Chains A and B, each alone.
Chain A
Amino acid sequence: MNLVSVGFFLAIVSLTLVVTFIAAKRTSSAADFYTAGGGLKGWQNGFAIAGDYLSAAAFLGVSGAIALTGFDGFFFSVGYVVANLVLLYVIAEPMRNLGRYTLADMLTARFNEKRIRGVAASGTIIIVILYMIAQLVGAGALIKLLFGIEYWIAVLIVGVMMTTYVLFGGMTATSWVQIIKASLLLFGTGVLATLVLMKFDFSLMKMFDTIATDHGEKFLVPGMKYTSTIDSVSMMMALVLGTSGLPHILMRFFTVKDAKTARSSISWTTWITAIFFSLTIFLGFGALNFVGIDKILAESKAGNTAAPLLANFLGGDVLMAFIGAVAFATILAVVSGLVLTGASAISHDIYGEIIKGGKLTEKQQVVAARTGSISIAIVSIILALFAQNLNVSFLVSFAFCIGASANLPVILYTIYWKKFNSTGAITAMVTGLVSCLVLGAMGPNVWSPVEGAAIFVGNPIVPLAVPAIITIPLGFIAGYLGTVLSSNKVPQEEADRIYKEIRVKANTGISVSDISH
Chain B
Amino acid sequence: MANISGSKNIESVDYNAIEAMESFNKFVKKKNTFLFSITAIFLTLYILLPILAFQPVLQQKFFGNITGVWVYSAGLFIMTIVLCTVYVKKASSFDKAAAAVLAEYYEKGGK
Q: Are the CB atoms of B16 and A89 closer together than 8 Å?
A: no
Q: Are the CB atoms of A71 and B69 closer together than 8 Å?
A: yes
- Shortest beta-carbon distance, A353 to chain B, in Å? 7
Known A-B contacts A82-B46, A85-B83, A236-B49; the reply to A358 vs B1 at CB < 8 A is no
- Shortest beta-carbon distance, A193 to chain B, in Å? 15
- Shortest beta-carbon distance, A360 to chain B, in Å? 12
A239 (CB) vs chain B CBs: closest residue: B46
- What are 26 A-to-B residue pairs whose CB atoms are below 8 Å? A71-B67, A75-B53, A77-B73, A82-B42, A84-B84, A85-B39, A85-B83, A85-B87, A93-B91, A109-B1, A112-B2, A204-B66, A208-B66, A220-B65, A221-B67, A222-B69, A226-B50, A229-B50, A236-B47, A358-B3, A500-B16, A503-B28, A504-B19, A508-B18, A509-B98, A515-B7
14 other A-B residue contacts (CB within 8 Å) besides A233-B47, A277-B77, A504-B18: A75-B49, A77-B73, A86-B39, A89-B38, A100-B1, A109-B1, A205-B65, A229-B51, A236-B49, A266-B84, A274-B77, A497-B16, A503-B28, A510-B102
Q: Is A174 an interface residue (CB 8 A)?
A: no
A213 (CB) vs chain B CBs: closest residue: B65
- Shortest beta-carbon distance, B12 to chain A, in Å? 9
Known A-B contacts A108-B1, A267-B88, A508-B18; the reply to A222 vs B53 at CB < 8 A is yes
- Report how far A246 CA is from B79 CA in the complex, Å: 23
A236 (CB) vs chain B CBs: closest residue: B50
Name the B residues within 8 Å of A75 (CB-CB): 49-50, 53
Q: Are the CB atoms of A205 and B63 closer together than 8 Å?
A: yes
Q: Are the CB atoms of B18 and A237 closer together than 8 Å?
A: no
Q: Are the CB atoms of A223 and B2 closer together than 8 Å?
A: no
Q: Are the CB atoms of A221 and B69 closer together than 8 Å?
A: yes
Q: Are the CB atoms of B98 and A514 closer together than 8 Å?
A: no
Q: Are the CB atoms of B53 and A240 closer together than 8 Å?
A: no
Known A-B contacts A267-B88, A274-B81, A278-B77; the reply to A209 vs B65 at CB < 8 A is yes
Question: CB within 8 Å of A: which of B28-68?
Answer: 28, 31-32, 35-36, 38-39, 42-43, 46-47, 49-51, 53-54, 58-59, 63-67
Q: Are the CB atoms of A511 and B76 closer together than 8 Å?
A: no
- Report how far A371 CA is from B88 CA in the complex, Å: 40
- Shortest beta-carbon distance, B79 to chain A, in Å? 8
Q: Are the CB atoms of A85 and B77 closer together than 8 Å?
A: no
- Shortest beta-carbon distance, B67 to chain A, in Å? 5
- Shortest beta-carbon distance, B108 to chain A, in Å? 15
- Report how far A263 CA is from B35 CA in the complex, Å: 14
Q: Is A507 an interface residue (CB 8 A)?
A: yes
- Report how far A503 CA is from B101 CA in the complex, Å: 13
How many A-B Cβ pairs are below 8 Å?
173
Q: Are the CB atoms of B2 and A81 closer together than 8 Å?
A: no
Known A-B contacts A222-B69, A353-B2, A509-B98; the reply to A89 vs B18 at CB < 8 A is no
- Shortest beta-carbon distance, A495 to chain B, in Å? 13
Known A-B contacts A81-B80, A358-B3, A514-B10; the reply to A263 vs B91 at CB < 8 A is yes
- Shortest beta-carbon distance, B72 to chain A, in Å? 9
Name the A residues within 8 Å of B19 (CB-CB): 500-501, 503-504
Q: Mark B68-104, 1 if CB is under 8 A from A, else 0.
A: 0110010011011101110110010001001001100
Q: Are the CB atoms of B15 and A505 closer together than 8 Å?
A: yes
Q: Are the CB atoms of A71 and B3 closer together than 8 Å?
A: no
Binding site for A on B (CB under 8 A): 1-4, 7, 9-10, 13, 15-16, 18-19, 24, 27-28, 31-32, 35-36, 38-39, 42-43, 46-47, 49-51, 53-54, 58-59, 63-67, 69-70, 73, 76-77, 79-81, 83-85, 87-88, 91, 95, 98, 101-102
Q: Is A439 an interface residue (CB 8 A)?
A: no
Question: CB within 8 Å of B: which of A77-126?
Answer: 77-78, 81-82, 84-86, 88-90, 93, 98-100, 105-106, 108-109, 112
Name the B residues within 8 Å of A99 (CB-CB): 1
A-B complex: 3 closest residue pairs judged by Cβ atoms = A500-B19, A232-B50, A501-B15
- Shortest beta-carbon distance, A498 to chain B, in Å? 9
Known A-B contacts A89-B39, A222-B54, A503-B19; the reply to A211 vs B65 at CB < 8 A is yes
A: interface residue count bin = 35 or more
A206 (CB) vs chain B CBs: closest residue: B64
> Which has the most chain A C-beta neighbours within 10 Å: B1, B42, B64, B69?
B1
- Report how far A106 CA is from B79 CA in the complex, Å: 30
Partner of B70, one of A71, A88, A90, A237: A71
Name the A residues within 8 Å of B64 (CB-CB): 205, 208-209
- Shortest beta-carbon distance, A463 to chain B, in Å? 16
Q: Are the CB atoms of A221 and B66 closer together than 8 Å?
A: no
Q: Mark A117-140, 1 if CB is under 8 A from B, else 0.
A: 000000000000000000000000
- Shortest beta-carbon distance, B73 to chain A, in Å? 5
- Shortest beta-carbon distance, A8 to chain B, in Å? 31
Q: Is A260 an interface residue (CB 8 A)?
A: yes
Name the A residues within 8 Å of B63 (CB-CB): 205
- Report how far A88 CA is from B94 CA in the complex, Å: 14
Name the B residues within 8 Å of A105 (CB-CB): 1-2
- Report how far A150 CA is from B23 CA in the complex, Å: 65
Q: Are the CB atoms of A507 and B31 closer together than 8 Å?
A: yes
- Shortest beta-carbon distance, A38 to chain B, in Å? 13
Q: Are the CB atoms of A220 and B77 closer together than 8 Å?
A: no
- Report how far A112 CA is from B5 CA in the complex, Å: 12
Q: Is A152 an interface residue (CB 8 A)?
A: no
Name the A residues within 8 Å of B13 (CB-CB): 510-511, 514
- Shortest beta-carbon distance, A92 to chain B, in Å? 10
Q: Is A212 an interface residue (CB 8 A)?
A: yes
